[in-house]
Amino acid sequence: MTVGIAGPQNGSVTRIGSCADRVSALWQTFDSGRTRPLRWRLAQLDGLTAFLRDNERDILDALFTDLGKPEFEGFASDVGAVILEIKTLRKNLPRQLRPRRVRTPLTSRPARSYLYPEPLGVVLVTPAWNYPVGLAVLPAAGALAAGNAVALKTSEVAPTTASLMMALLPNYLDRQAFDVFLGGPEVAEELLQERYGHIHYTGNSRVGRSVMRAASATLTPVTLELGGKNPVYVHRDADIATAARRIMWGRMFNAGQTCLSPDYVLAHRSIKRQLLAEMKKWIAEAYGSDPQVSPDLARIVNDRHFDRVIALLDGAGEIVAGGKFERATRYVAPTIVDEPDLEHPLMTEEIFGPIIAVLGVDDPAEAVAFVAARAQPLSAYVFTGDDDVVAMFTERTSSGSLVINHVFMHAFNANLPFGGVGESGMGTYTGKHSFDCFTHWKPLMRIGLKPDPPILYPPYSRWKSVVTHLMFR
């Protein structure tokens, strides 16, 4: 069988036709059975890996153009980590394709029961702009591994990266089963009018609601990876220097334009002053006396988002570090705001910039109550060695994930599902969980022709009723 991977020597791809026609073509490919063989699925995963390796330099350059992203951060998030995720998918795929035998109850014997993995059809992937390669390739890899065709709508907010993926990515995949769409909200709206087996969206909750409304028209299942106000609690027993370093790294990575970034810190009052000092110290250690000239601090993605981020500083609270900005280069200094007004947008909206707020609390119970009273975040972080404090946050707060003594490292563990809860999203994926995300596990039962007990069939005599009641006790 020809797997249908075209090499990069074939040049860029130009697709002609309406969104409806192109999605219909993907359905035709899927319905033909082309995407189901293991060899085809492995070939697509190998193609994605080759795309990342062959074009690493161009990808990093595009990320710098769109986001001013340092090469280290661009490689770690959009290339290296993605390759490792695909490797995990590929390793597990032959085993995951096998039907899963499950127990058959006495009432159904003799029989054998299975869960049979079935692809969903055409999957629409709509990634966010902050990690425009990684958040496109990761769900696409999961969908292809599960035997689906993929329609990828790139983010217009990262235009250089979007154009690169349009030009190069289809060259490494089966073009009959994979299509890339460029354009803004109007293209997204047009795509959402079509039928899919699954929709995977990464972005903000406002658009996420629109995606869900559109999906409801065709009862299409969705995965929504959104965001929220990610809290950090630093207990009095924490290693303050380490906590400050890890919190600030997580906040400043990609200039804070990360859905998992810590938004605010709840610090035990006994160590709050020391924590603030260490956070300020880290800024100088990481970016020097003038962060604006540091090659290691990314920029805000565009003017609209720059204006939104800067507005969050107006009247928010005492700025104890940073606060400087330059619109021409979309530079925002690493900024710490002490004791902000809780009703200010800095504390009610997702920041998505290099700004972090710090508030003092008297004890972990106050921190737990503070977090529990607000919308469920995508992730929560706790710095402590006290198991009772860990248990308190585990049991009394709800978040997409919880990490102790670090920030967003769980996103690099392919054995853990990634996703939100409540306002921060629904559904999970990444690593070996991506296969399940894009698969219908169809119940399958095989029953012999004999015996064929008469108890099942009318007329329903009294003895049949008695026996049935005994069987189901």
Q: Which residues are catalytic?
A: 225, 259
Under 8 Å between Cβ of 211 and 201: yes
DSSP code string of 276-345: HHHHHHHHHHHH-S-GGG-TTS---SSHHHHHHHHHTTTTSSEEEE---EETTTTEE--EEEES--TTSH
Give the number of C-alpha atoms closer than 13 A to the C-alpha of residue 105, restricted to the C-beta side: 4
Instruction: Please tell me whether the peptide bond between 417 and the residue prior to it is cis, using omega within 30 degrees of 0.
Output: no
Length of the chain measured in residues:
473
In the DSSP assignment, the letter for residue 409 is G
How many separate helices (H) and strands (E) can be counted in the chain? 17, 18
Q: Is the dihedral of CA 263, 266, 267, 272 positive or negative?
A: positive
d(CA 399, CA 422): 8
Nearest 5°: the CA angle 338, 343, 346 is 55
Tokens (6 digits) for 69: 């992203």
Q: In what helix (H) or strand (E) does residue 126 lie, and over which residues does it extend? A: strand 122-126
Spatial CB neighbours of 355, under 8 Å, sequence gap ≥ 6: 251, 256, 309, 312, 313, 322, 332, 335, 336, 337, 346
57 burial (CB, 10 Å; 0-12 / 13-18 / 19+) is exposed
d(CA 284, CA 299): 18
d(CA 143, CA 436): 9
CA-nearest of 224, 232, 221, 140 to 181 is 140
